[in-house]
Structure 1
Amino acid sequence: MTVHDYSAVTIDGKEVSLKDYAGKVLAIVNTASKCGFAPQLEQLQELYKDYKDNGLVILGFPCNQFMNQEPGSSEEIAAVCQRNYGVSFPMFDKVKVNGPDAHPLYKHLTSQAGGLFSKSIKWNFTKFLVDADGNVIERFAPKTSPMDMKPAIEKLLDQPSR
């Protein structure tokens, strides 16, 4: 199984197959607009703007599992992301990233790239880098600046899809 075998609902309610992103390098991030790391949304947007024409897509998945830092509706989340951080990359409906009700995509991501002490996600803004074939390549901690992902992104963008 790869990331391309999953689907998710966009923030505006449309079911999307992640097969639609085949051939693209993905950065998948669990977001929270009221988190101290929320300014990373601006950095993620900058990465998206700089690399989208080369094949990078950022996918944002709002999550309210960490200290109620994403309590709003989809409409409120979208408005905050756009207004405060200029987000234009694809955002999805709020998901759970841990536990028995975790979104199947997140169960896959964490099974492929565990964290420092366990596979579970410890906080908002855990970032997963996925190659153009849908394989999970690397996991980045919440504290890791999106800009620190540039070398890994550039390496994947230079490699053609199989």
Structure 2
Amino acid sequence: MRTLWTYVTRIAAVSCTIAAGVAFAPPAQAADYGCSGSLIETLSVKTLDGTKYGELKVYYSSANGGTNCAVTVDTRFSGTFKHMDAWVARCATNSTVSLCNWDKADPDSGTYQYYAGPVSITQTASRCIRAEGWIENPTTGTDAYATLPRSHCA
């Protein structure tokens, strides 16, 4: 009986350890942000004085005539609610300026703990894209930005 009780106790302890690991697991990483395809760009989301608050991640998939997806990931205040933005746009075919005139965009703006997005645009094969990310310091209100100008045109 003692052996059975020891076995049951060990199984319960292992189960609790696994459950605790799941309950306190960190937020999703990489492709788990909801973007499919390959990571093609990572930009630091920084304040004017260079303080990094997070990263703007941009992905590409060949699905649906080319799909670009973006997320803004907090790396400084993670777990704290703060205002965040993620935005991706498809540049108009005749746009040549660095911030491009766009013909289709997908924004996500709100109060989040870990990341904003995913946002995505289809029909981007052979078209340029533009993306932006923004994180607000929840204490001071200081803004941090990342802008991907007209790029990934092939």
TM-score past 0.5 threshold: no
Structure showing greater Rg: 2
Structure with more strand by fraction = 2
TM-score range, shorter chain: under 0.3
Structure with more helix by fraction = 1
Q: Which fold has the larger relative contact order, with Cα–Cα distance below 8 Å and residues 6 or more apart in sequence?
A: 1
TM-score by length of 1: 0.23
TM-score by length of 2: 0.24
